[in-house]
Structure 1
Amino acid sequence: MACVLVFRRPRWSLDLVLKALAVAVCYYVAGRLGLMGQLVIEGVIVTPVWPPTGLALAALLVFGVGVWPGIALGSLLVIASLTTPQLPTLITVAGNTAAPLCACLLLHRVGFRLDVSRLRDGIALVFLGGLGAMAISATAGVAPQVWTGGLSPGQFWSVWLAWWVGDAMGVLLVTPLLLVLSLGAGRFPRRRWKEAVCLGLAALVIVPVAVLSPTSMLFLVFPLLIWAALRFQLAGSMLCALVASVLTTYAANTRVGAFSGLSGIEIMVKLQAFNGAAALTALLLSSLVTEQRATRRSVQSACNELAVLLEHLAVGENPADPSAPSVRDVDEARKPTTRHFPRT
């Protein structure tokens, strides 16, 4: 049964306050981790992937909109760890809180499922949750710096684009993985553990070679993403995409491998292009595979029901009769029986 996002009016309680505080702590930790991969664009610190936005959206989808104060508190703590909070800081905090809130409400409007089991869920997460709503946080973060003179008007769009893409990548890479883990849908049959180990070993070998090689070989990552999406759906593909993004961001910060000899703008463009392509491939392909498998199971179930109905009609029975055999009874009757004869 698919899990559908349900919008509830928040009711303040001790449990909700504790959840909000937990979200604030996780937001701060994710922010500090995200700052480890920071880049300087036009004199402003930006991050190619900003994990707190993905964590904030996942928290709102799972716990409800009542945990929004935790997002605001976590955002304020992250900014306070970098500089002294001022009036523009409050605008940035408001934008960082409003963006995931708007994303949550938009996803609720289109009937988003938390397990991202349909292609439409993946598309909604990309365009509504990531690209659409994150324009709010980018605008609220860059505009105050232009108003206060920290940035010139000519620098607005370059910094805004870097900020917007970083927030969107946080949603596309972090939110699906957290949703899958929260629903416990990341489990796979035990018979596939050998294949999972092979996929992990292949990722540990291929991803560093593709990223750290002096020759640009980032395309080698995409066969791994396709393999993970086809066999392990969202959990496997998003985990591979996140690992590849982290290692690629490290290579971009140290200017090695595929990013050696590039300027700051070129590094940002190349890194964001790779992160975006990897996230879209993993998210949309895995949601498409999950939807097709669910459709196949539904069709198989309908075929079984139709076969039982036809058998009932062939022998003149009423399918609505409670005494009529069920699908399970017919399946058991179809199984071959083995007779044992005594030895003479």
Structure 2
Amino acid sequence: MTDARAETTDAARGARRRRYAAEGLRIAAVVVAYYLSAKIGLRQELVRGQVTPFWPPTGIALVVLLLWGLRMWPAVALGAFAVNVTLGPSILPVLAITAGNTLAPVCACLLLRRVGFRTALDRLQDALALVFLGALGGMVLSATVGTGVLVASEALAGDDFWPTWSVWWTGDAMGVLVVAPLLLAAREARWPRGVSAWRWAEAVALLGGTAAVSLVATHSSLNLLFLVVPCLIWAAFRFQLAGAAPCVLIASMIAIDAGARGSGPFSGQDLLAQMVILQAFNGTVSLTALLLSAIITERNRTLREIERVCERLTEALSRLAPEETLHRWTPPRPGERER
């Protein structure tokens, strides 16, 4: 009896160790992904070497919290601290900025859960919630805290608050709008089987065409940003989220680079105006792609449900038809007695 209890205790301890090890690996993976993606975003920095119009860690943090739960917030905080401690200005502002970078995705996650958000992004309300609650609304917190801390610590002048805030908010929102749908689509994606060569060629042409049109639109002296929208419509109709998310990433990255360089429609504008144009473009691109993808996915799901119901009705009628034939009453012939 004692041996059985000891074996049970050892098994429970082993299961706890494995669970703790798995959680530790998850936390380490999130910290590494947060740090590396932040370094990528900082290549486009516009203010003080640490404020950028594209901040991928917010998208990673939000997806992690949605999929693995709010218990992963320490991983987000560790990643944010590891990035900000190298940027300064001092330890207290770094801790405050880290808190803002952690609270923003946590609040966005809570808002999305409140409205019943589904990570499959297969409903219209899910796309709207991600854009307006997860990105545009949730990231106000991090932008306000971060910019306020820099001004309070005299790392920025008071007159630079709103231009810096606009860049910070744009970067955090773009991280959610661009990275989160891509990660959620990759989670649901499966390697296609039996796909024709024409289908593959269409996908390659779509990605290449989106890149080419985005380059022309963001580097032309004319205002041609609207040319990107037909590519997104094509991606959403033909490939849904799996095709629309990469196209949004391509178009947004090219637009962000053009905005940082001040080329095309961004030339001759001050920093605040550039961020307004960039946020309007990326928000329109993301909203268009996500909404159309969700609508087409809902339509396809409805059609499949209708087909299944029709098949079940056909099967039920085919089973009832012989019984109705056997039980159908026929009038007696002349001279015969009615049974």
TM-score (norm 1): 0.81
Q: Is the 8 A contact 1:186 1:235 kept in 2?
A: no
Tell me, what secondary structure is at the counterpart of 2:44? coil
In 1, Cα distance between equivalents of 2:192 and 2:105: 27
The aligned counterpart of 1:127 is 132
Structure 2 residue 283 is the aligned partner of structure 1 residue 242 = no
Q: CA deviation at 1:309?
A: 2.0
Among 298, 307, 311, which residue is 2:318 paired with? Answer: 311
Aligned pair in 2 of structure 1 residues 236, 219: CA closer, same or farther (>3 Å)? same
The aligned counterpart of 1:111 is 116
The aligned counterpart of 1:56 is 61
Q: Is the 8 A contact 2:170 2:275 kept in 1?
A: no
Q: Is the 8 A contact 1:62 1:179 kept in 2?
A: no
Q: Is the 8 A contact 1:145 1:151 kept in 2?
A: yes
In 1, Cα distance between equivalents of 2:307 and 2:75: 45
In 2, Cα distance between equivalents of 1:230 and 1:223: 11
Q: CA deviation at 1:83?
A: 2.4
| Structure 2 gap ranges (5+) | 1-17, 325-339
Would you say how many aligned residue pairs link Structure 1 and Structure 2?
305
Higher radius of gyration, 1 or 2: 2
Structure 2 residue 259 is the aligned partner of structure 1 residue 216 = no
Alignment of 1:256-271 (within 5 A): 256-271=263-278
Among 132, 140, 147, which residue is 1:142 paired with? Answer: 147
In 2, Cα distance between equivalents of 1:150 and 1:186: 49
Tell me, what secondary structure is at the counterpart of 1:39? coil
In 1, Cα distance between equivalents of 2:152 and 2:271: 25
Aligned pair in 2 of structure 1 residues 179, 85: CA closer, same or farther (>3 Å)? farther
| Structure 1 gap ranges (5+) | 1-10, 318-344
Among 78, 84, 90, which residue is 2:83 paired with? Answer: 78
Deviations 1:228-249 (A, max 9, x none): 1111111211111111111111
In 2, Cα distance between equivalents of 1:185 and 1:278: 25
The aligned counterpart of 1:47 is 52
The aligned counterpart of 1:197 is 204
Q: Is the 8 A contact 1:252 1:271 kept in 2?
A: yes
Tell me, what secondary structure is at the counterpart of 2:323? coil
Q: Which has the higher helix share?
A: 2
In 1, Cα distance between equivalents of 2:276 and 2:128: 23
Letter aligned with residue 62 of structure 1: L
Q: CA deviation at 1:274?
A: 0.9
Tell me, what secondary structure is at the counterpart of 1:315? helix
The aligned counterpart of 1:33 is 40
The aligned counterpart of 1:174 is 179
The aligned counterpart of 1:328 is none
The aligned counterpart of 1:330 is none
Q: CA deviation at 1:152?
A: 5.2
Among 298, 304, 318, which residue is 2:305 paired with? Answer: 298
Letter aligned with residue 46 of structure 2: L
Tell me, what secondary structure is at the counterpart of 1:269? helix
The aligned counterpart of 2:280 is 273
Aligned pair in 2 of structure 1 residues 280, 155: CA closer, same or farther (>3 Å)? same
Deviations 1:199-222 (A, max 9, x none): 123224322222222222111111
**Identity of paired residues, percent?**
48
Letter aligned with residue 22 of structure 2: D
The aligned counterpart of 1:94 is 99
The aligned counterpart of 1:254 is 261
In 2, Cα distance between equivalents of 1:19 and 1:315: 60
Tell me, what secondary structure is at the counterpart of 1:36? helix
